[in-house]
């Protein structure tokens, strides 16, 4: 038996377990692991049987971390289906509370517009939760989104970030056409 421990915020435990335990059950079934959740500590224990797929067990840990960082189970479970998909976290813990709120607001944008633009043009999913900004996407997509988010954190105008993303998308499309 191989065991992994993951800690997630207490207010995300309910999302991980799901209504009537359905999310947890689905994760167990798809990963071949047994998942135990300590709802008082936020501790999640993942046990993989010796015959289970070790990669799937690692991926289920990433999936649980993604749920813990604010992604919906539907978006996070894609980590189990696509080996090319990565989960990345940008920590904002170093920022003061006032700066943290300003940065989160800049990344989300009015009515979520900036977040949607980054998601659409970079091809990623974004979750702004607590003192983190998390990304789900392929390596090159995450790199582009991370660059755009860092531009926003450093105070670049939204228009400059949108232009950067559009240039990156055009370059990626041209690259696709060559193949």
> DSSP for 136-162?
EE-HHHHHHHHHHHHHHHTT--HHHHH
Which segments in the chain show pLDDT lower than 50? Answer: none
- Where do the domains of the chain lie? 2-81, 86-178
- Phi, psi (rounded to 5 degrees) for 43: -90, 130
Burial of 21 (0-12, 13-18, 19+ CB in 10 A): exposed
At 1 the pLDDT is 67
Report domain 2-81's class: alpha beta
At 154 the pLDDT is 95
CATH number assigned to the domain covering 86-178: 3.30.1370.10
Q: What is the pTM of this model?
A: 0.91
At 91 the pLDDT is 96
Residues 106 and 148 sit within 8 Å (Cβ to Cβ): no
- For residue 56, what are its two tokens? 């799937």
In a 13 Å sphere around the CA of 21, the CA atoms on its Cβ side amount to 8
Fold agreement (2-81, 86-178): yes
């Amino acid at each position: 038996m191989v065991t992994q421990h993951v800690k997630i915020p207490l207010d995300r435990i309910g999302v991980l377990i799901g209504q009537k335990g359905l999310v947890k059950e689905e994760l167990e079934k798809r990963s071949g692991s047994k998942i135990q959740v300590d709802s008082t500590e936020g501790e999640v224990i993942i046990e993989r049987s010796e015959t289970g797929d070790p990669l799937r067990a690692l991926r289920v840990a990433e999936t649980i971390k993604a749920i813990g960082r604010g992604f919906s189970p539907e978006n996070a479970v894609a980590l189990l289906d696509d080996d090319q998909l990565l989960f990345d976290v940008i920590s904002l813990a170093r920022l003061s509370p006032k700066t943290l709120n300003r940065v989160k607001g800049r990344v989300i944008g009015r009515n979520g517009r900036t977040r949607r633009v980054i998601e659409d043009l970079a091809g990623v999913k974004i979750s702004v939760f607590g003192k983190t900004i998390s990304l789900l996407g392929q390596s090159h997509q995450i790199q582009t989104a991370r660059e755009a988010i860092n531009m926003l954190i450093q105070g670049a105008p939204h228009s400059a970030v949108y232009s950067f993303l559009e240039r990156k998308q055009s370059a990626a499309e041209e690259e696709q056409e060559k193949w």
